[in-house]
Every structure is written in structure tokens, then in C-alpha cells.
Amino acid sequence: MRLLVTGGAGFIGSNYVRWVLQHTDDEVTVYDALTYAGNLSTLADVEQNYGSRYRFVHADICDLDAFSTAVAGHDAVLHFAAESHVDRSITGPAAFTITNCVGTNVVMHASRLAEIPRVVHISTDEVYGSVEEGESLETDLLDPRSPYSASKAGSDLIARSYFSTYELPVMVTRASNNFGPWQYPEKVIPLFSTNLLDGAKVPLYGDGLNRRDWLHVLDHCAGIDVVLRRGDPGEIYNIGAGNELSNFDLTHRLLGLAGAGEDRIERVADRLGHDRRYCVDSTKLQALGWSPERDLDGALADTFAWYRDNRWWWEPLKAASPAR
């Protein structure tokens, strides 16, 4: 197949590009605006190793003419491109509505006109809102509580409307918190890892008892690919790993990997509207043959080691836009 991957220079998108080029004979077009979290350095090895099956288009998903030209002739679209950092959405919500909602409408509209046979819209478990107990099902009502999650919930509804109205064969995935290599160092695991490697403190929000399910990005990529090839149009698929931790427990595991003590924790004021807990039920995707393969502790160790060994990638990013 010929795949077009929006946001393919970002964290999850670039990992999916590598995954699909390694595991299939597909050809991939990456479509990316190269905002602060999307970098060509992230794809340098992809271009070197898979140049005959890979090409790059530098353009914005809000540009209908550019996307319409790029998408022509493809067999599937995987829509990763999004503004995704909750803290940034609190201080600058407008960009999230534009990119995540307007951009998604452009992708769906152009994909419909190009008669793309398969479209996968990548979303997040945050659209369900804070879940005090149990697991979110794909049929649950959406209750987003930040400008980021609200804009993603809006993008989900836009994508699904194209199935209901136009029969565009679109599927939606909603994953739990991802971690792994190539993640921009503003998110908690790369931020804490790189701070610890630099001898700095790590900023822990509030009481540290907010809980998240941690999914390694390559397990996520495998799940997305199953949805692409086996999922039913119009359906939603949760992707979770069952690795639920409090932020406090996660911090202690990273401190252990760095050989550091609790004196490296800096308690900071809690995030506005900070959701207490997310957890999703992945039974529906598991019925298609997917399950997570990576052990949490081993995957965290591998991720910490990747940031230790790849300062060349993240040091310029932190210098250009210092994380907390």
C-alpha cells in the first residue's frame, strides 16, 4: 500500500513510519508542518535507510490545496498530526482548536474527494475525561476537561461525521499515555529522564497521585496497524497496555534508573483541571489479534537508555525551547 502519514515527523508518527517500513513492503509519504515538536532530525535515519519507499512533504494540514495534492494516489491516510501538550493548551488554546479541529476537517474532506480506501484518525484516551474507577469503553460519552482533550474530542467527532455523512471509511483509535524514543522533551518521561541525566530536578505536579496507563509507542504502532488492516470503518478502538501507575510511582522508577534519590523531586503547583485518572478497555482491539508485548519496567529502562545515548537529538531541542 501507499500510506500518507500526517505528523510523521513527530513522536508517535515517526515511530509508526519506522514500524511500518520495517514490517511491511508499504511505501510512506510523511506530511508534516515541522512545528516545534516535528523535526527532520527525527527522520534522518528513515530517509537514509528507506529512501526508495519514503518521501517527505513539508506542509500544514490546514492547507487544503497542499493536502489535496499530497493525498492523491494513496491507499490509506493515518492522521497523527495534532497539537498534543496539555500545558501548552492551557496557555494557548487557539492553536489546538485550529490544528486539531480545522486540520482534521481538511484531512477528512480531502481524503473523501480523493476516495481514499482507509483512513485512521489517531486520538487519545483523554477525550473520556477523568475516570475515577473502572475502564473507559468506546461507547462511553466524551467528557474532555482541557483545551487539548476538548479539541481532540472535537476532531474525533469531525472524523466520524465523515463516515456517517459521506461513508468515508474512517476508523478512530484512542490510546493511553505513550512513551519511548523520539518523544519531545516536554512530556513527563523524556522531561524527567533528560533532567535526571543533566543533574537537574524533576517537577512533580501536586500530590503525585494522578494515575495513567503507560503504553510503549511501538506497541501503540502495532495496534494502529492492526486497525488499519483489520478494523471496521466507522468504529473506534481503544489501545491501552494495562500498566497503570501514579505519577509518584513513575517518578520513583525513573529515579531508580538514574541512580538518584528523592531529593531530585521538586514539588510544583498542580496543573489546572488536572485529570485524576485515565484507563481504557482494549478488549475490542484485542479481538482483532493485538496485545501489548513490552514489559513496563524493561521498556522504561530501554527508554531511559535511549535518552542517555542520544543527547545529540534532544539537547538542541531543550536548548531551543527549554522544558520545565
Residue 125 among the catalytic residues = yes
Give the three-state DSSP class for 312: helix
d(CA 103, CA 109): 10
> Which H or E element spans position 302?
helix 296-309
Catalytic residue among 83, 125, 156, 225: 125
Q: Name the grid cell of 64.
A: 487544503
Catalytic residue among 16, 128, 148, 184: 148
Edge-to-edge, what's the strand order for the sheet holding 2-6?
54-58, 27-32, 2-6, 76-79, 118-124, 170-175, 236-239
Residue 148 among the catalytic residues = yes
Cα–Cα distance list, 169 to 3, 20, 129, 227, 287 (Å)? 15, 20, 27, 12, 20
Listed residue (167, 142, 165) closest to 155, CA to CA: 142
Inter-residue contact 185 to 197 (CB < 8 Å): no
Listed residue (235, 236, 245, 241) closest to 222, CA to CA: 241
The size of the chain, in residues, is 324
> Residue 284: how many CB atoms within 10 A of its CB?
20
Alpha helices in 125-241 (DSSP H): 147-166, 188-197, 217-230
Q: Name the grid cell of 209.
A: 497521585
Catalytic residue among 27, 32, 126, 219: 126
Which residues are catalytically annotated? 125-126, 148
